[in-house]
Amino acid sequence: MKNDVISPEFNEEGRVLRRIRSFVRRQGRLTKGQQHALDNYWPVMGVEFQAEPADFSEIFGREAPVTLEIGFGMGTSLVAMAQTNPQHNYLGIEVHSPGVGACLSTAHEAGVENLRVMCHDAVEVLENMIPDNSLNMVQLFFPDPWHKARHNKRRIVQVPFADLVKRKLKLGGVFHMATDWEPYAEHMLEVMSSIEGYKNQSESHDYVPRPDSRPVTKFEQRGHRLGHGVWDLMFERVK
């Protein structure tokens, strides 16, 4: 697995450009199990970044609806979804290698074959590798809310990003977001509601109840015990 999750860009003088990122690389130390998974299962389930459109039928070895999850953490819920829906293909993106290793290990133990993972900047992957009109669903669960006002520009859900996601979704495809930070939920709702071509699946035009397709994580269960709310947003591409 390559360790370059961000491809550098250069200005006319050849200097590296600094870009606003929605994540910070908190690598941490790999456990023996995570390292073992990277060494042994990445060659089977891992996908390296390439600056050209990918062929999903080649990546998965079959034709099937594709769900893309951005920032899958340790991969527990992603593996559960793939295991529950073997008729679908799942592609997960995560920039932290311990999470990638954990996801590979869990997927191997579960015998999941319809899951592939990447370790790269999701925006670059969307821009370069994901063909337009190719995804049935894009999932973004509990992204970093960047609480401080001066950091709000780092939030991944902004108009250009949501437009990019829409372009990659098939007509009728859904962008599903979830957050436990209400101000971020309000920000997501404002951004998504401003973009032509998306339809909010909420009957009340705000948030939807957690769908069965999104497993409840331990993180979320702990939040519920502490009285924290969770907000799900689902927007369908309609044009």
Which residues participate in the annotated binding site?
A: 69, 94, 121, 144, 148, 180, 217-220
* Chain centroid, CA 67 distance in Å: 9
Active-site pick, 144, 206, 212, 232? 144
d(CA 239, CA 236): 9
Q: Which of 77, 78, 63 is nearest to 117 (CA)?
A: 78
Annotated binding site for S-adenosyl-L-methionine: 69, 94, 121, 144
Query: What is the torsional sign of CA 71, 74, 78, 82?
Result: positive
For residue 60, the one-letter residue type is F
Q: Is 132 a catalytic residue?
A: no
Annotated binding site for substrate: 148, 180, 217-220
Active site residues: 144
